[in-house]
Amino acid sequence: MMREAARPEAQVEGAPLECPAPVSLRREVRFAAPIALSVMAAMVPATIVIPVIRPFVARGWPGADWVFYAFMAVNLLGACLLGPLLAVRADRLGRRREYAAGLALLDGAMVVMVALMPPLPVMLACRFVQGASSVAAVSLLMGAARGRGQSSTATGLIGSAVVLALVVGIPLGAVLGRADPALPLFVGGAFGAVAAVGAFRGLPDGASSRLPVGAVWRLAGLRLPVVVVALERFSVGLFTVTLQIYAFHVLATPDGATSRWFSVFLVAFAVATVPFSRLGERLGRWRLVGGGALVYAGMFFALPALPAEWLSLALFAGGVGSAAIYGPSLTLVTGSVPGEARASAMSLLNAAGTFGMFLGNVVAGGIATAALTAGSSRALAYGLVFAVAGLSQLVTVVLARRSGHAA
């Protein structure tokens, strides 16, 4: 059955990625903070684009609605297909620093290329490469963030950095996009260069890994937290667009209020990830995952029944519940693999999360369209989407309960 931690790294063939050191909170933060900042910078090129997708695509390639969807789809496809392979390659060569820096720089360069509005096939190719390079660079950085001991504080900081990239990137893109829809992409390219410098200076060296991606996937303790994170991202994909449409058509809420709701959710997630990652060492990680999933599911089931003035509170609770899933899951993943294979493990985690979000968007659109076509009200159609998101988290509750008993 699943276990929360793998055997100690001293028993693993090959040198560990990090050197042993005392596990004080201060040392963990000092070690992880530069890497966390690099993770955030590496993710901004992807997040800063989100608010300007519609006006940017409409300006560069007008008259074809399918381009809006292709703009996102090919990026996610590159992230799922090539991102893990690039990270595993860097692990096996033991050249994480060079690969992470080069891939972050490539990520930024591809965003700038897209900003120049090349012909459509070139643009889609750049988006594919950008998705692959972004996930691989972020995975390599996250893989280095277990810290120099067995504390999960460093991993929690990285989890918060992932969300802070959204909290910073999306509003920044919206502000810059008012002047020119292409401007956020140029700024995103600059963030890619900053991430490359941070990766080259801050990423620790380590031994090469002899584990191919299939062997990493088969390691005890890895698969289930990856599945749990994929389910969490699946639920995010289900409700992000749906909540915006639901708020506009059913609650008659302006877009600004919806943006504030999402900010509440993301900030709660970011702030709670670090303490939950550390708290899992005392209370049990699977216990926290199960409790967080239960709270998270409750948010989804409550959304259709709550008036608009209560949604901020519900989303705050959901953000905390989501952090209770994500933070401990990160430490479960990093603790289940040898140090020199952590980037490979993180690439699998990120690819699974990306695919979960992609699938959630597809399922949400399919459910809502089918319900509306059948004559259902908008409230019922979008309520069905929220219900599916809640049910996906009840699956996580069951998985966590079984794993907690087996640990």
pLDDT, tens digit, 9 for 90 and up, residues 33-62: 788 888 889 989 988 887 787 788 888 888
Residue 239 lies in a domain: yes
Q: Are residues 190 and 241 in the same domain?
A: no
Residue 255 belongs to some domain of the structure: yes
pLDDT of the residue at 320: 94
Of 22 and 310, more confident: 310
Among candidate residues 208, 224, 249, the one where a domain is terminated:
208
Q: Which of 208, 223, 250 is the last residue of a domain?
A: 208
**Full residue range of the structural domain in which residue 366 is found:** 213-407
How confident is the model over 373-388, as a mean pLDDT? 93
Q: By percentage, how much of the chain surpasses pLDDT 90?
A: 31
Q: Are residues 230 and 323 in the same domain?
A: yes
Instruction: Say if residue 252's pLDDT is above 80.
Output: yes
In a domain, residue 349? The reply is yes
Q: Which residue has the higher pLDDT, 47 or 228?
A: 228
Residue 232 lies inside a defined structural domain of this protein:
yes
Q: In whole angstroms, what is the distance from residue 131 CA to residue 128 CA?
A: 5
Residues 149 and 231 in one domain: no
CATH number of the domain to which 77 belongs: 1.20.1250.20
- 187 and 219 together in one domain: no
pLDDT of residue 12: 39
Q: What is the mean pLDDT of residues 65-76?
A: 74
pTM summary value: 0.70
Which are the contacts of 48, defined by CB distance < 8 A and separation ≥ 6?
Answer: 169, 170, 172, 173, 176, 184, 185, 187, 188, 191
Same domain, 160 and 269: no
Contacts of 321 (CB under 8 A, 6+ apart): 291, 292, 293, 294, 295, 296, 298, 299
Domain's final residue, options 208, 223, 240: 208
Domains held by the chain: number: 2
Give the mean model confidence (pLDDT) for residues 281-309: 92
Question: Is residue 321 pLDDT above 90, yes or no?
Answer: yes
More confident of the two residues 154 and 86? 86
- Res 289: pLDDT: 94
| Res. 129: pLDDT tops 90 | yes
Contact indicator for 396, 225 with CB cutoff of 8 Å:
no
**pLDDT top residue among 19 and 384:** 384
Residues 202 and 251 in one domain: no
Quote the mean pLDDT of the chain.
Answer: 80
Q: Are 32 and 157 in contact (CB under 8 A)?
A: yes
Residue 99: its pLDDT value, please?
A: 87
How many whole angstroms separate alpha carbon 263 and alpha carbon 169? Answer: 12
CB atoms closer than 10 angstroms to residue 94: 17
Question: Within the chain, what is the greatest distance between any pair of CA atoms?
Answer: 63
pLDDT of residue 282: 77
Nearest CA to 139 out of 70, 69, 216 is that of 216
pLDDT for 160-203, tens place per residue?
777 778 778 878 888 898 899 899 999 999 999 999 998 888 77
| Three-state secondary-structure class, residue 221 | coil
